[in-house]
Amino acid sequence: MTTTPARLTVLAGPTAVGKGTVSADVRARYPEVWLSVSATTRAPRPGEIDGVHYHFVSAEEFDRMAQSGELLEWAVVHGRNRYGTPRGPVEERLAAGVPTLLEIDLQGARQVRESMPDARFVFLAPPSFDELVRRLVGRGTEGAEERERRLQTARVELAAASEFDHVIVNDEVTRATDELVHVMGVVRA
């Protein structure tokens, strides 16, 4: 297995498009790719593990991280909780030549474009808006009010797809993963 020199890849896209699913598939099939673990003030969902899916932190701890410059980017997502990328681990992996993936929202992607313009920016798109709604409802992790809030954000995010260097349609997870790792320059020798 060989890789091109390590560059940061940012994966964004609307709620429930499958960013987490595709990122997990990348991690499972391409363990040489490192997936950043974000900090969030959101409460864990059943089955989510602190330090694996997110660093679940209090509002006070998030404030401290943001104010001390520990976050590469951060945003209030869906108008409610804060999410941010711890800077140190990303810089360490990139310095060590490890292909590094961030799964973040549009606001965060725009911040990273400002600070790290050499990164690759990938937008994961749904086959259709109806399919996006089916996936959000099918996931069953949010109530009706939170789903509506997320779909409002989704409309804004979908309108920004052209800002990204690559758009990948998540019609099928394995295929979307293959396209993502190809864009990342992760190739099998």
Ligand X SMILES: Nc1nc2c(ncn2[C@@H]2O[C@H](COP(=O)(O)O)[C@@H](O)[C@H]2O)c(=O)[nH]1
Ligand Y SMILES: Nc1ncnc2c1ncn2[C@@H]1O[C@H](COP(=O)(O)OP(=O)(O)OP(=O)(O)O)[C@@H](O)[C@H]1O
**Which residue ranges make up the site for ligand Y (CB under 6 A)?**
13, 15-21, 135, 138-139, 170, 172-173
Q: Residues interacting with ligand X, by CB under 6 A?
A: 15, 19, 38, 42, 73-75, 77, 83-85, 103-105, 107-108
Is there a binding annotation on residue 181? no
User: Is 14 or 99 the residue whose CB approaches ligand X more closely?
Assistant: 14
Instruction: Measure the CA–CA gap between 38 and 112, rounded to whole angstroms.
Output: 14
* Phi, psi torsion values for 113, nearest 5 degrees: -60, -35
Q: Nearest distance from residue 14's CB to ligand Y, in Å?
A: 7
**Residue 50 partner contact from ligand Y, ligand X, none using kind-dependent CB cut-offs of 5 to 8 Å:** none
Is there a binding annotation on residue 15? yes
Give the tokens for residue 119: 């990164």
Is there a binding annotation on residue 19? yes
Give the tokens for residue 153: 């954000």
Query: What is the three-class DSSP state of 187?
Result: strand
| Residue 14: DSSP 8-state | S
Is there a binding annotation on residue 14? yes
**Residue 3 partner contact from ligand X, ligand Y, none using kind-dependent CB cut-offs of 5 to 8 Å:** none
Q: Nearest distance from residue 37's CB to ligand Y, in Å?
A: 14
Instruction: Measure the CA–CA gap between 129 and 45, rounded to whole angstroms.
Output: 25
User: Which residue's CB atom is positioned nearest to ligand Y?
Assistant: 18
Per DSSP, the residues of 63-125 read: HHHHHTT-EEEEEEETTTEEEEEEHHHHHHHHHTT--EEEE--HHHHHHHHHH-TTSEEEEEE
Q: Nearest distance from residue 76's CB to ligand Y, in Å?
A: 14
Q: Nearest distance from residue 142's CB to ligand Y, in Å?
A: 8
Is there a binding annotation on residue 26? no
Binding-site residues for ATP, in ranges, read 13-20
Binding-site residues, in ranges, read 13-20
